[in-house]
Structure 1
Amino acid sequence: MIRHEEATKKATASIHQIKEEVDRNHWRLQYHVAAPAYWINDPNGFSFYNGEYHLFYQHHPYSAVWGPMHWGHVKSKDLTTWEHLPVALAPSEEYDKDGCFSGSAIEKDGKLYLMYTGHIWTGANHDTDLEQVQCLAVSDDGVNFKKLANNPVIGAAPDGDIHPNHIRDPKVWKHGDEYYCVIGNKTKDEIGQVLLYRSSDLLEWEFVNVAAKGEGNFGFMWECPDLFSLDGCDVLVMSPQGMEPDHHLYHNLHQSGYVTGQLDYETGKLDHGSFELLDYGFDFYAPQTTIDDQGRRVMIAWMAMWESEMPEQEFNWAGAMILPRQLFIQDGKIISKPMPEVESLRNEITAFENVLIDGKKVLDGVSGDCLELDVTFDAKEASMFGLKVRVNKKQGEETVVQYDVEEGFLTLDRNRAGKGLDGIRKAPVELKNHELHLRIFIDKSSIEVFINGGEKVMTSRLYPGQASTGIEFFAEGTALIKSLKKWSLRKSIGEELVHSSATV
């Protein structure tokens, strides 16, 4: 255990040395979670413990590129203002010497348990030469964690058509008197699937069944599964790798979405419907949910994508999290909305009503790089309408959110968004009474577009110049801005690393 404590101390000290320099970067996000420095990816251990939200994340605390995985850590009382905590997990034992991979958290007997994948490379080929087992660490205070002496708690893969090496990302929950976890896996023939395990004490686990398996264009590996009940449905969230593009769908390297159905806890089989995306933008992966003391199902995800260019790496950081979103079931599908607590970040308001757009329109006081927009359009006679954000005419920079009335698609276009990234993503959207409602969150290097009350969402990283702060509305034909509210948003991320026995 001393070895692990030393490893977390060293990792925390590494971050501390450079975080002030990182925080000065002009792309540094103001109200989205990112590590104080260096690389992050999947959210882990998202949980509500002792009256606070705890969020852990995959973290390489020594460089801005992916490396041996640690668990970084932040906490919040309101899902909006976050406090950095020391690194929670570091590779230190034989079973996790090459990485503490993704996992989840659960409270038991007043203690917070982290269940994670211990990772070992066994050769040079990172697709075939690896071993993965499931492990536990425990904390009395939610900050300092000790790995259990009897790790791993789930060792070799069970018999059957189950790939023995790619078995990772346990998500644990309690149902009745028993604990359950789902684990990402694939068949020996490269078909994504999810395994279900059961335990009475978190320590001894039995394999129950393959809960769900892909058919058709459903990927070769299902990562980061999460299974929960929401509004009478059982929901399986997962991140399939290897889905092929299909018209406007699946153009990111990997996808993230869900199926709904009913889990038979006795047989371990999930009877489910078709796959739906959780986000139609560029940068959304590995979502994980928790339930809080108000009974709300809250989701967080990595706001990036594997193998995407990350211009912020030049400034010694990479990756961030989306705004936490509350999930609901509506007409059999998930809708996701920003948590209402985000409204506490609002500063002064600028508002307009019934503004006609015939060509282009710029409105006084509507600009910026850290803001929230709430806008309702009436399509009127327009064939196309929308808005451009992060606009700089001199530099030729703009990010375009555009609705095509005839096609029925909302397009997010970042071909001129700034450094590094380009491309277009589309989401099928129906007007409501000829109207389109958008709630848009812009941060220094990101955009999140919530469409028609969260029926769909589009998320992207952007890397424009500092002077790219303009906002412009447009229409082909005549459209109406029925209502517009704009708030600047205050910074809520970036507190000092909390000192504890795990810091130096």
Structure 2
Amino acid sequence: MVKVNDRHIEALEKANQEIAQKKDVIKESAYRLNYHFMAPTGWINDPNGFSQYNGEYQLFYQYYPYDSKWGPMHWGHSKSKDLVYWEHLPVALAPSESYDSGEGVPGYGCFSGSAVVDGEELVLIYTGHVDSNEPMQVQCIATSKDGVAFEKYTQNPVVANFPEDGSKDFRDPKVWKHEDKWYMIVGTKKDGKGKAVLYVSDDLRLWKYKGVAAESDGTQGDMWECPDLFPLNDTHVLIVSPMYGTQNEKPFYVVGDMDYDKGVFTQGTCTTLDYGFDFYAPQTLVDDKGRRIMIGWMEKWLTKMPSQEHGWAGAMTIPRELILEVDTLKQKPVVELADLRTDYKKLDAFEVAEKTTLNELQEVVSETIIDFNISETTATQFGLELRSSEDGSEKTVILLDLKNKEIVMDRLLSGCGEKGISKAPLVVKGISVNLRIFMDTTSVEIFVNDGEQVITNRIFPDANSKLFNIFTQGGKVSVNSIESWKLGSVWN
């Protein structure tokens, strides 16, 4: 008789052999990023099991090591001491059992979930998915005593059916501890409304259904993926990645109140979390410094991914600390990223009346902080051209529109990747607007006014498109200062 974990070990060994054969070629391939997390080969999507164990950050992720396209989902695994430099570890989970694997079935795998530390154990809680099963999706656990080798629980699934309030789309468990009990929310849908349903447990194995913690108000999507509910300051925050039919949309956050006795989260204002195209399925942890840190998948479903031709696809955003100020959830790049900085440059106050190339700022992999003086600016529209070619045929445009009170990232000329225009609200407080821009070889993340708004997009320009231009439309723009650093690689 084959034991449950014998099958699992065999599936893991096969996956790890595939990685070993391909990783050296993949790491030299086109479009690889310098300081963003990537898998050694193949396809990745959602971050999973973002946690801290034995003093080290753990990042798991949805993974298909055999191809650069989505396939039967595994859990890839890595760890870091500082959220900057990551070490790839063996694959943690592979499809192997009746609840997460199926011969000849179109879709199956170990779908998204979370991780918690229970005594000496690191426990993964995930969705087992098999298209042909009834129910199609169930909740399972796997445990490890060393943080590397994981055994699936012999009594899986620990939640064997969806509740009456939900449906067969029942996935992405997020687990946390409150007082002396474990709580778990799972994303589902019913009657055209996305929902987060709540369970409670004493031991992570026997779960009692509490009810619907939160649901769509009719405008927030008909399926809620990757819900994350956590305390911050004296309140709670709910993050959801919503679907509308088959279309995945921008994740949002809601600040509200959680009543653990009733199992109900009362919603306040709903706000978009990131206004870019390439941000989905974020997950948070609270670390030993007391920080609430978030990381997301820096890609999007059903989009053109030029890296697929080179045997890989998908990356993660930089880790961001979440700071709640009243009802605004600010996102701030973790301070540890400063360790990558070299070649500091600063430009003091100056004005621009027509398009100007800043020759000092031509580092492709960089961090730039630019502070605009709005009180001395007469133009109502101005901005930046990033990764511009000499002739302007290739560029990523950042437009600040004071008249319409929005900031726009236009990637119509950003190279061979997906096109599109992202827009976020632009709130001018006082006399300045501050942009903090993280550029990598194939990505741009813009933090507006200390992280009040964020725009994340992948771009795929030619390697020789390096110009950094400031432009203005119908007036002058005043700049208080620009600071810039070259950022090193975390993979050397």
Say yes or no: TM over 0.5. yes
Query: Which of the residues 62, 70, 86 maps onto 2:90?
Result: 86
Query: Which of the residues 189, 192, 196 maps onto 1:190?
Result: 192
Is 1:136 the counterpart of 2:146 in the alignment? Answer: no
**CA 1:52–1:19: 2 relative to 1, 3 Å:** same
Q: CA deviation at 1:486?
A: 1.0
Check conservation: 2:235, 2:258, Cα contact below 8 A: no
Paired position in structure 2 for 1:500? none
Check conservation: 1:111, 1:138, Cα contact below 8 A: yes
User: 1:238 & 1:177 partners in 2: Cα distance?
Assistant: 26
Q: Specify every segment of 5 or more residues in structure 1 that has no aligned partner in the other structure, as ranges.
A: 124-128, 245-251, 495-504
Is 1:334 the counterpart of 2:329 in the alignment? Answer: yes
Check conservation: 1:39, 1:66, Cα contact below 8 A: yes
User: 2:301 & 2:259 partners in 1: Cα distance?
Assistant: 34
Paired position in structure 1 for 2:278? 283
Check conservation: 2:193, 2:218, Cα contact below 8 A: no
Q: Which amino acid aligns with 1:487?
A: W
Query: Which of the residues 297, 318, 321 maps onto 2:316?
Result: 321
Check conservation: 2:359, 2:467, Cα contact below 8 A: no
Query: Which of the residues 70, 91, 114 maps onto 1:104?
Result: 114
Please list, as runs of the form range in 1=range in 2, the aligned pairs for 1:81-480 lying within 5 A after superposition. 81-97=85-101, 98-122=108-132, 131-158=136-163, 160-163=164-167, 165-187=168-190, 189-242=191-244, 253-379=248-374, 380-394=377-391, 396-476=393-473, 477-480=475-478
Q: For this pair of structures, how many residues does the alignment match?
A: 479
Q: CA deviation at 1:297?
A: 0.1
Matched residue SS, 2:338: helix
Q: Specify every segment of 5 or more residues in structure 2 that has no aligned partner in the other structure, as ranges.
A: 102-107
Check conservation: 1:282, 1:425, Cα contact below 8 A: yes
Deviates more, 1:274-283 or 1:106-115: 274-283
Q: Which amino acid aligns with 2:185?
A: V
User: 1:146 & 1:383 partners in 2: Cα distance?
Assistant: 59
Deviates more, 1:330-339 or 1:447-456: 330-339
Matched residue SS, 1:96: coil
Check conservation: 1:226, 1:238, Cα contact below 8 A: yes
Q: CA deviation at 1:434?
A: 2.8
User: 1:120 & 1:291 partners in 2: Cα distance?
Assistant: 32
Paired position in structure 2 for 1:51? 55
Q: CA deviation at 1:266?
A: 1.1
User: 2:437 & 2:352 partners in 1: Cα distance?
Assistant: 19
User: 2:440 & 2:21 partners in 1: Cα distance?
Assistant: 25
Q: Which amino acid aligns with 2:130?
A: I
**RMSD across aligned C-alpha pairs, in angstroms?**
1.4
Matched residue SS, 1:179: strand
Is 1:16 the counterpart of 2:20 in the alignment? Answer: yes
Deviations 1:22-76 (A, max 9, x none): 2222310110001111100000000011001000000011000000000011111
User: 1:441 & 1:161 partners in 2: Cα distance?
Assistant: 42
Q: CA deviation at 1:420?
A: 2.5
Matched residue SS, 2:9: helix
Q: CA deviation at 1:243?
A: 8.1
Matched residue SS, 1:15: helix
Deviates more, 1:196-205 or 1:429-438: 429-438
Q: CA deviation at 1:253?
A: 4.0
Matched residue SS, 1:181: strand
Q: CA deviation at 1:255?
A: 2.0
Paired position in structure 2 for 1:491? 489
Query: Which of the residues 47, 58, 69 maps onto 2:73?
Result: 69
User: 2:431 & 2:364 partners in 1: Cα distance?
Assistant: 30
Check conservation: 1:217, 1:243, Cα contact below 8 A: no
Query: Looking at both structures, which has the greater relative contact order when contacts are Cα pairs under 8 Å and sequence separation is at least 6?
Result: 1
Matched residue SS, 2:11: helix
Percentage of identical aligned residues: 46
User: 1:439 & 1:491 partners in 2: Cα distance?
Assistant: 19
User: 1:394 & 1:317 partners in 2: Cα distance?
Assistant: 31
Q: CA deviation at 1:395?
A: 7.0
Q: Which amino acid aligns with 1:268?
A: G
Q: CA deviation at 1:130?
A: 6.4
User: 1:224 & 1:72 partners in 2: Cα distance?
Assistant: 17
Q: CA deviation at 1:216?
A: 2.0
Deviates more, 1:146-155 or 1:359-368: 359-368
Q: CA deviation at 1:393?
A: 2.7
User: 1:348 & 1:10 partners in 2: Cα distance?
Assistant: 44
Deviations 1:327-373 (A, max 9, x none): 01112121110000000000111110112111111223211211100
Q: CA deviation at 1:394?
A: 4.0
User: 1:216 & 1:107 partners in 2: Cα distance?
Assistant: 36
Matched residue SS, 1:17: helix
Q: Which amino acid aligns with 2:235?
A: C
Q: CA deviation at 1:140?
A: 0.8
User: 1:438 & 1:394 partners in 2: Cα distance?
Assistant: 26
User: 1:25 & 1:486 partners in 2: Cα distance?
Assistant: 27
Q: Which amino acid aligns with 2:488?
A: R
User: 1:162 & 1:57 partners in 2: Cα distance?
Assistant: 25
Q: CA deviation at 1:109?
A: 1.2
Deviations 1:233-269 (A, max 9, x none): 111111110189xxxxxxx842211111111111111
User: 1:431 & 1:254 partners in 2: Cα distance?
Assistant: 27
Deviations 1:457-490 (A, max 9, x none): 0000001111111111111211122110111100
TM-score (norm 2): 0.95
